[in-house]
Structure 1
Amino acid sequence: MRLGWALCLWLGVGLGFGGPAVAQEAEEIAAAATRAADRLSEATDALEAAKGARDRVRALTGAVQSYEAGLAALRDGLRAATIEERRLALKLDAQRAELAQLLGVLQSMGDNARPTALLHPSGALGTARAGMLVSDVVPALDARAQAVAADLTRVRDMRAVRQKAAADLQAGLAQVQEARVALSQALADRVDLPRRFIEDPARTAALLAATDTLDAFATQIRSVARNEVPGSLPSVLHRKGRLPMPVQGVILRRAGEADAAGITRPGIVMATRPQALVTTPVAATIRYRGPLLDYGLVMILEPQADLMFVLAGMEVVYGETGEVVPAGTPVGRMGGTPADLSSQGREGAGTDRTETLYIEVREGQSPVDPQTWFAQDKG
């Protein structure tokens, strides 16, 4: 009876490892990593061809963002490979005793299994039945065992490839850090951006001292401008709902959702990776950049009259108040320290997104749900 139970366990439920699913997942991860590597190569080529300050900013931005995308793809690959490999290993360990018993029986039968090779205490009829049972299940058992071996090999190969790619990225981390430094310098060196107004430092300081809410500050922010050029940038209403997110990440808290302290805000909170670049979704005027209340460093962008994007929680902000920055231009960088790539395969999903960016959109004097403006991004 124990032999029959073991055979049924292995043939019925013991080896449901989903080989095709593993292979498909491996292919998808490999494709994502390949696309990210292609983007990084293109960005590097663009950087070499860049001449002016604006071209250099664009190329450096592409290089850093491509690295972030590649890093995310490889982390996901390492994590998926590790989880699948661990699941298969635990499954095999849990049924090691049954496998050992079955292998012992098959080994005693030799290569040419015959029903008479098994002796059954109930006599000849029991021996014949046992022999037929083993003869029937041997091919199926062999097929299942080969499937498990193939799955394990596939997962280990996938993990080896991801670890090699992660090692390559880790080796190039210093170059990316240099690219971030170069980007900061290129942004500081720009002199060809149009400027719509000059900030009045005294008015700004007075407004900050008198403000106790983001809403009040945003409502009065235009009062700090001097010599403002009349007019506005072209309307972006036709792009509502299709703008890219300012940062690569996932939505941690939606508009109106309470945080751990029970506080609700009209904006959304994005969970991002350390050092992630924050870019302007559209061409916009920088209305304010600097610290504000408990929001950390804040950037207020004005794409058109009566429309403002508030980005809060960055470690560094780029640009000068009054400048008009092109779409896709970095306006800030998140804080934090990037985790060691070798640890990503052991961590749970999302644990590498340790920084948070608050995003608020204001139409006229009132905040609206930012998700009505941005295309949904899985990060």
Structure 2
Amino acid sequence: MSHRHCSTSCIYRRRRSLAGCRSSPLSSTMRSVPERRHIVSLALAGLLSAAPMPALPESMEPGDLESLQREIDTTRERQLELEEQAAAARADAEALRRRLIDTAARVQSFEADVSDSETRLAGLQGAEAVLNAQLEQRRGEMADLLAALSRLDRHPPPALAARPDDALASLRSALLLGAVVPELQADARELRDRLEQLAALRQSILDERVTLEESQTSLEAERRELQALLDRQLERQTRLTREAESEQARADGLSRQATDLSDLISRLEAGAANRLPAARPDPAMPPAAQPKPAGPPPGTKEAETRDYAMLRPPAAAPAMPSSRRFSDAKGLIRPPAAGVIFRTYGSKNPGGGTTKGITISTRPDAQIVAPFDGRIAYAGPFRQYGQLLIISVGEGYHILLAGMNRIDCVVGQSVLAGEPVGMMGAAPAGRGTTSDRNTSEHADMAGAGPALYIEFRKEGNPVDPRPWLLMSDEKVRG
């Protein structure tokens, strides 16, 4: 009875306290055990609201509080440890991407150095062959010249004072030699210069071969490092395979339904719009102006002239606009590979149609990098394009790369500008690449290196890639 009275009194005093009335100090010490348990439960619930914890039992003995506190501390320590590990993993992933980009840039630089060295070596060998042919044609003249010089050295012209009776013959010989000797000396100097030129060419060839071997050795070392980094990245990406496989399956399904590239891109964008909120356009951003054609109109004689532009990755990464908008990066986008443009946008192809992109001839096993930041929308075979890679770069723009022998990224993956995404083959892998009309884009490059097809699209419509690409001023006429 006294216990019930005490409980009732405590409850009454508690209600008065909650109503704003002052209770005596004794009231705080007379709370019942259930009340204290309830207060402890409320306090623990407040402490554990920030971290997931097992549900507390409705009743807890006072002795369990210390054990629970230790469990809370252990959980918090584990949570902090996991957060630190996650931050370290993010930093490691970012550092890995930067190393991939830097290594891929060095690979492309060495590829360009090897190509330049091979070009110089071919020029030196050609000059040597021409000089050898010229010397071979004049072999008879050189033999007569050497014989005449030898006779002149052994039998110099007679002195007029030695034999007065033979003065007329000596005078005739002197006049003849006076006319012949300068010509012989000129021929001798020309022969000497050509022989010295030939010796210098041969030494230059030897030096260039050493340079070429060093560049090839450096290239192979950088490729091995790049492959090791790609393997490491692949191990990290295996944790995301389920999502990637789901995206790839969706893309494959769309590719089977699509009739051409425009249809494929429309389906990919429609699928992405269903999964992601649409980006609101910037009202301060004016509509992008139509790019002016970089060359003469297709079909003119100027357009038919083969004036091939060199594509070489910049020694240093170009300064991108702070907005990182694709439309603001005209003239600043690094090419996906080093090479020579041999088919331009809008030119005629052997099938009678016009090309919707550009095609460049690369060296065998050339490294392919992402030209701009974006997301991989498609990666895999697509109709006559062979291995096709589509990168969504925002604002309705897509970059299409075809003709690669290997693709090193997956659908849904985010890539940075300069990040490796694939590699060309040893043989001309792009010969079979065709446009939407099934007309060959590469049929006139027999005997050249692998061909990479590049296409830029805005809202599914092809645009000329050249205003965006950072191209060298060097030209190769064919």
TM-score (norm 1): 0.72
**Aligned match of 1:140 in 186, 193, 208?**
186
Partner residue in 2 for 1:72: 115
Partner SS, residue 466 of structure 2:
helix
**Aligned match of 2:469 in 365, 374, 378?**
374
Whether the 8 Å CA contact 2:369–2:421 is kept in 1: the answer is yes
Distance 1:302 1:175, change over 3 A: same
Partner residue in 1 for 2:420: 330
2:395 is the counterpart of 1:305: yes
Partner SS, residue 403 of structure 2:
strand
Whether the 8 Å CA contact 1:115–1:131 is kept in 2: the answer is no
1:334-373 alignment runs, 5 A limit: 334-336=424-426, 353-373=448-468
- C-alpha distance in 2, partners of 1:116/1:237? 89
1:1-379 alignment runs, 5 A limit: 52-110=95-153, 113-114=156-157, 127-169=173-215, 175-189=221-235, 200-225=247-272, 227-228=275-276, 230-231=278-279, 234-336=324-426, 353-377=448-472, 378=474
Structure 1 residue 111, shift from structure 2 partner: 6.9
Distance 1:112 1:138, change over 3 A: farther
Letter in 1 for 2:367: L
Structure 1 residue 172, shift from structure 2 partner: 5.9
Structure 1 residue 319, shift from structure 2 partner: 2.3
Structure 1 residue 185, shift from structure 2 partner: 1.1
Count matched residues: 312
Structure 1 residue 270, shift from structure 2 partner: 1.0
Q: Deviations over 1:307-343 (max 9, x none)?
A: 11111111111223223211111111111169xxxxx
- C-alpha distance in 2, partners of 1:327/1:355? 22
- C-alpha distance in 2, partners of 1:126/1:87? 41
Structure 1 residue 59, shift from structure 2 partner: 3.6
Structure 1 residue 250, shift from structure 2 partner: 0.7
Distance 1:77 1:321, change over 3 A: same
Structure 1 residue 134, shift from structure 2 partner: 1.8
- C-alpha distance in 2, partners of 1:91/1:116? 39
- C-alpha distance in 2, partners of 1:206/1:265? 27
- C-alpha distance in 1, partners of 2:271/2:388? 16
Question: More relative contact order in 1 or in 2 (CA 8 Å, sep 6+)?
Answer: 1
Whether the 8 Å CA contact 1:256–1:267 is kept in 2: the answer is yes
- C-alpha distance in 2, partners of 1:365/1:303? 13
Letter in 1 for 2:208: R
Instruction: Point out the structure with max Rg over C-alpha.
Output: 2
- C-alpha distance in 2, partners of 1:211/1:168? 48
Q: Deviations over 1:217-261 (max 9, x none)?
A: 123221343633653884132221332211111112111223334
Distance 1:207 1:259, change over 3 A: same
TM-score (norm 2): 0.58
Letter in 1 for 2:276: E
Once the two structures are overlaid, the 10-residue window that deviates more, 95-104 or 310-319, is: 310-319
Structure 1 residue 277, shift from structure 2 partner: 1.1
Distance 1:124 1:114, change over 3 A: closer
Whether the 8 Å CA contact 1:280–1:327 is kept in 2: the answer is yes
Whether the 8 Å CA contact 1:61–1:330 is kept in 2: the answer is yes
Unaligned runs of 5+ in 2: 1-92, 161-168, 281-322, 429-444
Distance 1:70 1:234, change over 3 A: closer
Q: Deviations over 1:31-65 (max 9, x none)?
A: xxxxxxxxxxxxxxxxxxx9932233134313422
Structure 1 residue 133, shift from structure 2 partner: 1.5
- C-alpha distance in 2, partners of 1:112/1:159? 42
Whether the 8 Å CA contact 1:311–1:357 is kept in 2: the answer is yes
Identical columns (%): 27
Unaligned runs of 5+ in 1: 1-49, 118-122, 339-349
Partner SS, residue 368 of structure 2:
strand
Letter in 2 for 1:357: L
Partner residue in 2 for 1:10: none
- C-alpha distance in 1, partners of 2:268/2:410? 15
